[in-house]
Amino acid sequence: MARWGVGGSKNASAVQSILVLTAASSSPRRARLYEYNVGSGATPADLAFIHIIQRCSTSGTGTSQTPNALDPADSLASTIVTKDAITSDPTITSGAVVWKIAINQRLSYSWYANGDNFSIVIPATASNGFMCGLSATTSTTFDSSSKFEEL
Amino acid sequence: MRRPDGFARFADPDRGDTWLDTITCAHCNSIHHVKKDEPGGFCRMCYRHTCPKAECNTDTCVPFEKKLEAFEARERFRRAV
């Protein structure tokens, strides 16, 4: 199945989300998130942030991104809705945190799944997916990228 | 770990890169970091790694795939009525 890459940035808006990936509102399909990278392009500061990936049930308000097909031969458009520069956070599902870590702002972090069975799955349910961001709102800017596979 | 489910890299500008193995819980689909040579949790029914949460380490095994199917079916029904 087609694999996609998408990058996203968080601007100075006081929100949690850096990048939001959700299934389309019509004809949703499952997708597997198998790589996630995050770091801050802001002026280095000695601050700690708790980064999370949490399930969400809406896509929030932000700038829609067009995922890039990793194989240029893939001609179909991605059905996963990706947004960055979020100005209003999506509705996050309480307690459904699939990844959480506290890291210093100076560090950048990457996670890679070691095979298809070990990725995290976006359900084939309209506007459900992942909010990749922080555990609390902040005006600090962050940048991230992720790769996913549509099923 | 002998066969980790994933890898995490912490790129520190002062100390260089640190790599950790990760597991992806077979019961809740969450990602957890484990230290080198730590086995992590393991379900003997589905033979997959599990996270340390109590609800993911009970006597019953409900793979995440089953939960996902139930969730999707419930949402389809909810939207249909």
CA nearest to A34 within chain B: B6
pLDDT tens digits, one per residue of B30-81: 999 988 777 678 899 999 999 888 888 888 999 999 999 999 999 889 888 8
Q: Tens of pLDDT along B8-36? A: 999 999 999 999 999 999 999 999 998 87
pLDDT at res. B3: 82
- Selected for mutation to probe chain A from B5, B9, B21, B24 (highest A CB count within 10 Å) is B24
Q: In this structure, are residues A22 and A56 in contact, taking their beta carbons and an 8 Å threshold?
A: yes
| B71 token code pair | 């969730």
Indicate the SS3 state at residue A139: coil
Task: State the average pLDDT over residues A53-76.
Answer: 92
Q: What is the Cα–Cα distance from A40 to A37, expressed in whole angstroms? A: 11
Kind of pairing between the strands at B48-50 and B16-24: unpaired
CA dihedral B34, B39, B42, B47 (to 10 degrees): 110
Q: What is the mean pLDDT of chain A?
A: 93
User: Cβ–Cβ of A113/B24 closer than 8 Å?
Assistant: yes
Q: What is the pLDDT of residues A112-139, one digit of tens each?
A: 999 888 999 999 999 999 999 999 999 9
Size of interface A-B (CB pairs under 8 A): 76
pTM of the model: 0.92
Residues of B in contact with A118 (CB under 8 A): 5-6, 23-24
| pLDDT tens digit sequence for A25-49 | 988 999 999 999 999 999 999 999 9
Q: How many residues can be counted in chain B?
A: 81
Cα torsion at B64, B69, B70, B74 (round to 10°)? 140
Rounded to whole angstroms, the Cα distance separating A35 from A49 reads: 20
> Could you give the 3-state DSSP secondary structure of residue B69?
helix
